[in-house]
Structure 1
């Protein structure tokens, strides 16, 4: 029931105080509800930030793995061009060891590719 602001009787004043108290309780409940929603939104934002950083880290790992695969494919393509003799023997036709620096280059390429 509405109250009149100009009701100056003790009963009228008591009614005004009770009704204002109810309004204040609703305001406080609403403030607590909003505060809870703010906390939930903050938690959601932190979760999204974590997911974004994990996604970025995954993309970085995928990119690095792709680069390694490309290096390995390049190495395999170069290795497939060797003759069977080159693959099995490091000596030249005269029986001497093949150029050691070339052998080291292949070894270095294998290490980099993996």
Structure 2
């Protein structure tokens, strides 16, 4: 089941000078929309591992294995978070493995 997310997800993408193409590319992934919704409610940095845990808990609840969480964290690290950083929606520090919204 796809969950509807509040307007902060869209607001985060509108705060930046994104082209329509960039905005559509960013929002085309359900995982990135979920990440944006989580970041919209964060006041400070969040680790990639903590973010992965939150994403997995939303979908699988307490039944999720550590392997699933690790796989999501790897995907975030290599794909989703760098895209958010490249588009200026959030700042991702791959060395510290943390992301923060509006960090520029």
Relative to its length, the structure with more strand (as a share) is: 2
TM-score (norm 2): 0.27
The structure with the larger Rg is: 1
Relative to its length, the structure with more helix (as a share) is: 1
Where relative contact order (Cα < 8 A, 6+ residues apart) is larger, the structure is: 2
TM-score (norm 1): 0.25
